[in-house]
């Protein structure tokens, strides 16, 4: 029985290969001991990339096992015996089935697909920081090039950088894909080819195979398994371990890291992208104030990553604008129903006036900060009074005076402490802290005793402010007093219970 005729000649990965029983576990073990990426390379990849590397490797394992089985079956069919088969060394067997260190396609598939993905993700990030005028797909024009890759690289596929086509035309386009993207920064190159009309590709292109081609910066799922990969994983019974890898690598909440912003635009971007609070805007605030709020939020969100009821952070000015716009629409509907005789224009004017007034009453100008938990989803969260926060020095002076007057808690004199106070409201709302009988007892004691001395004047106004003030003191006073400590400990205990119930 020879090996030659059984050598696999092509390796079509779209093929569904069932792997029910692992009959050559020793071969698999051997194979797994050789990670396609070195440990250092592997840990340099980001988590999503690592997850993808893992999924691709495991799928290739399954395919390899199937190849070994196929090979065995074939040699048995051709008169070989199992003993003949077992005489081969591991190396010979692995080489014959494409798993060998030198003759293997396995390593190439795993390595190339992962490395190419990493490379092309890197390119996308690079282009995002310095926008080229146009992008072009570059292929490797040889016998191994697939039909699709040839069709998009010869002649080269070129479109302007911002073109939506790049959302779905980002390599790799298949396993082992070697196609890359090139950025064109020089207008002369385009003019040299006869201008945009001749330079750019016009005809509609075929789309890559499902699951391939999505732009890594779209917030897309380039790192997810393709539908075909998922199907194969299920067949090979490795879908559970891949799911586990996904949980560990991708789904676990990440530690947030604070970064100082130089501009309000940067601070907004940090709040939206890093903190995940979409639609946030500190417009009207000084960047120092925005930084202090972002820093406070990083701390609080790291401690309570699952917090609910916080999806926005911003300035009163921004929140009021969004509040007014949303409220105008709901009021207009109501007015239309109540006053059918009036023109829409007239009713809209009235609705807007009413909405503006409601916004002013919600975001009262005397408040430093505020938690909004109403029915307008986009501003659910916390806001900072930009009238005060536009001048940090003056604002801090004001806070200091309030602390000296015992109106605010010890430690509450920074702008960040306002965010901590508002976050205290968010926690109260989320974990029903004010319903806790111990907290209610603490509040009764504050009212009966000298609450102003024990916490702060503001903290005695109602139980919710007591909780928020306590959280602000616990966060900012290096030696938090008894009231703040007791309330903070109840919050932490409630959170631990919540985690137990929800895990
Ligand atoms: Zn408050």
Q: Which tens digits make up the pLDDT trace of 378-405? A: 999 999 999 999 999 999 999 999 999 9
> 255 C-alpha vs ligand 1 centroid, how far in Å?
27
CA 268 to ligand 1 center in whole angstroms: 23
Q: Is pLDDT above 60 for 22?
A: no
CB within 8 A of 395, min separation 6: which ones? Answer: 289, 388, 389, 415
Residue 415 has pLDDT above 50, yes or no: yes
> Each residue of 71-107: pLDDT tens digit?
666 766 766 665 665 565 555 655 655 555 444 555 5
Contact in structure between 389 and 395 (CB atoms under 8 Å): yes
Q: How far is the CA of 385 from the centre of ligand 1 (A)?
A: 13
Instruction: With CA atoms as reference, report the closest residue to 379 among 448, 277, 485, 455.
Output: 277
Q: Closest Cα partner for 469 from 477, 478, 479, 458?
A: 458
Laid out side by side, the sheet with 369-372 consists of 312-315, 381-384, 369-372
Kindly state the percentage of the chain with pLDDT values over 70. Answer: 73
* Ligand 1 centroid – CA 462 distance (Å): 9
pLDDT of residue 5: 29
Q: 270 CA distance to ligand 1 centroid (A)?
A: 24
Highest mean pLDDT among 142-156, 162-176, 401-415: 401-415
Contact 75, 85 (CB under 8 A): yes
CA of 497 to the centre of ligand 1 (A): 25
Say which DSSP state 261 is in. -
Cα of 426 from ligand 1 centre, angstroms: 10
pLDDT band at 152; cut points 50, 70, 90: very high
| Helical packing angle, 106-129 and 47-77, nearest 10° | 160
Nearest CA to 310 among 370, 238, 220, 391? Answer: 370
113 pLDDT band, cuts 50/70/90, is low
Q: Cα of 370 to ligand 1 centre, how many Å?
A: 6
Say which range, 162-176, 263-277, 390-404, has the weakest mean pLDDT: 162-176
Question: If you measure from the C-alpha of residue 256 to the centroid of ligand 1, how many angstroms do you get, rounded to a whole number?
Answer: 25
**Separation of 269 CA from ligand 1 center, angstroms?**
26
Choose the most confident range, by mean pLDDT, from 152-166, 190-204, 248-262, 323-337.
323-337
At residue 429, the 3 state secondary structure works out as helix
DSSP 156: B
352 Cα to the center of ligand 1, angstroms: 28
Residues in CB range of 41: below 8 A, 6 or more apart:
none
Reported confidence tier of residue 45, pLDDT bands at 50, 70, 90: low
Cβ-Cβ contacts under 8 Å for 480 (sequence gap 6 or more): 411, 473, 474, 488
Cβ-based neighbour number of residue 343 at 10 Å: 9
Ligand 1 centroid vs 425 CA: distance in angstroms?
Answer: 7
Residues, CB within 5 angstroms of ligand 1 (ion): 465, 468
**R_g over Cα of the chain:** 31
CA of 324 to the centre of ligand 1 (A): 22
Q: How far is the CA of 459 from the centre of ligand 1 (A)?
A: 8
- Produce one character per residue of 78-87: b if its CB has 16 or more CB atoms within 10 Å, e if not: eeeeeeebee
Chain-centroid distance of CA 475 in Å reads 27
- Rounded to the nearest angstrom, the distance between the alpha carbon of 134 and the centre of ligand 1 is 51
Distance of alpha carbon 94 from alpha carbon 104, whole angstroms: 8
Separation of CA 494 and ligand 1 centre (Å): 20
44 alpha carbon – ligand 1 mean position (Å): 44
| pLDDT number for residue 290 | 98
Angstrom distance (rounded) from CA 244 to CA 104: 28
Report how far ligand 1's centroid is from the alpha carbon of 319 (Å).
17
Asked if residue 348 lies in contact with residue 328, where contact means CB atoms within 8 angstroms, the answer is yes
Distance (angstroms) between ligand 1 centre and the Cα of 433 equals 14
Residue 421 CA to ligand 1 centre (angstroms): 6
| Tokens 């988590």 -> residue | 47
Model pLDDT, residue 84:
62
Average pLDDT over residues 213-221: 66
Q: DSSP string spanning 285-339?
A: S-HHHHHHHHHHHHHHHHH-TT--S--EEEEHHHHHHHHHHHHHHHHHHHHHHH-
pLDDT band for position 452 (50/70/90)? very high
CA of 468 to the centre of ligand 1 (A): 6
pLDDT score of 217 more than 70: no
The residues near 317 (Cβ < 8 Å, ≥ 6 apart) are 283, 284, 386
Q: Report the distance separating Cα 321 and Cα 376, nearest Å.
A: 12
Q: Ligand 1: distance of its center to the CA of 318 in Å?
A: 19
Q: Does residue 218 surpass a pLDDT of 80? A: no
Sign of CA pseudo-dihedral 210, 212, 214, 220: positive
**The pLDDT of residue 256:** 87
Three-state SS for 267?
helix
Lowest mean pLDDT among 66-70, 231-235, 422-426: 66-70
Report how far residue 297's alpha carbon sits from residue 309's, in angstroms, rounded to the nearest whole number: 14
């Amino acid at each position: 029985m020879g090996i030659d005729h059984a050598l696999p000649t092509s390796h079509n990965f779209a093929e569904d290969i069932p792997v029910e029983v692992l009959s050559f576990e020793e071969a698999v073990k051997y194979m797994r001991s050789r990670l396609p990426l070195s440990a250092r390379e592997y840990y340099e990849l980001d988590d999503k990339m690592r997850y993808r590397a893992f999924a691709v490797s495991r799928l290739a394992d399954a395919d390899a096992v199937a190849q070994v089985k196929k090979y065995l079956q074939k040699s048995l069919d051709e008169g070989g015996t199992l003993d003949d088969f077992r005489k081969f060394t591991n190396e010979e067997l692995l080489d014959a089935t494409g798993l060998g260190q030198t003759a293997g396609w396995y390593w190439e598939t795993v390595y190339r697909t992962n490395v190419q993905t990493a490379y092309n993700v890197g390119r996308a990030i690079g282009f995002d920081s310095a926008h080229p005028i146009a992008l072009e797909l570059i292929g490797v024009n040889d016998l191994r090039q697939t039909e699709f890759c040839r069709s998009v690289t010869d002649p080269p596929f070129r479109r302007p950088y911002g073109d939506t086509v790049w959302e779905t035309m980002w390599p790799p386009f298949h396993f082992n894909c070697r196609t890359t993207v090139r950025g064109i920064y020089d207008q002369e190159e385009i003019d040299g080819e006869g201008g945009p009309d001749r330079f750019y590709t016009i005809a509609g292109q075929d789309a890559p195979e499902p699951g391939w081609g999505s732009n890594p910066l779209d917030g897309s799922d380039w790192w997810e398994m393709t539908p075909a990969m998922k199907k194969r994983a299920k067949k090979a019974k490795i879908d559970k371990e891949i799911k586990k890898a996904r949980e560990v690598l991708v789904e676990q909440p990440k530690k947030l890291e604070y970064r100082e912003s130089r501009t309000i635009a940067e601070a907004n971007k940090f709040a939206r992208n890093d903190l995940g609070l979409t639609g946030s805007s500190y417009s009207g605030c000084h960047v120092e104030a925005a930084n202090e709020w972002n820093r406070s939020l990083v701390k609080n969100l790291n401690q309570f990553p699952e917090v609910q009821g916080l999806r926005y952070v911003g300035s009163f000015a921004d929140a009021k604008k969004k509040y007014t716009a949303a409220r105008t629409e709901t009021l207009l509907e109501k007015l239309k129903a109540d006053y059918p005789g009036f023109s829409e224009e007239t009713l809209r004017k009235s609705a807007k006036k009413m909405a503006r007034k409601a916004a002013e009453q919600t975001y009262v100008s005397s408040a430093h900060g505020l938690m909004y938990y109403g029915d307008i989803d986009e501003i659910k969260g916390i806001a900072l009074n930009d009238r005060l926060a536009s001048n940090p020095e003056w604002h801090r002076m004001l806070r200091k005076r309030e602390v000296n007057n015992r109106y605010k808690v010890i430690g509450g004199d920074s702008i960040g402490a306002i965010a901590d106070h508002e976050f205290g409201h968010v926690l109260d709302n989320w974990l029903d802290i004010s319903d806790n009988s111990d907290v209610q007892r603490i509040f009764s004691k504050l009212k009966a005793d000298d609450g102003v001395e024990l916490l702060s004047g503001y903290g005695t106004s109602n139980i919710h402010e007591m909780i928020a003030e306590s959280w602000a003191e616990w966060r900012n006073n290096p030696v938090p007093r008894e009231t703040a400590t007791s309330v903070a400990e109840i919050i932490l205990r409630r959170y631990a219970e919540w985690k137990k119930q929800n895990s």
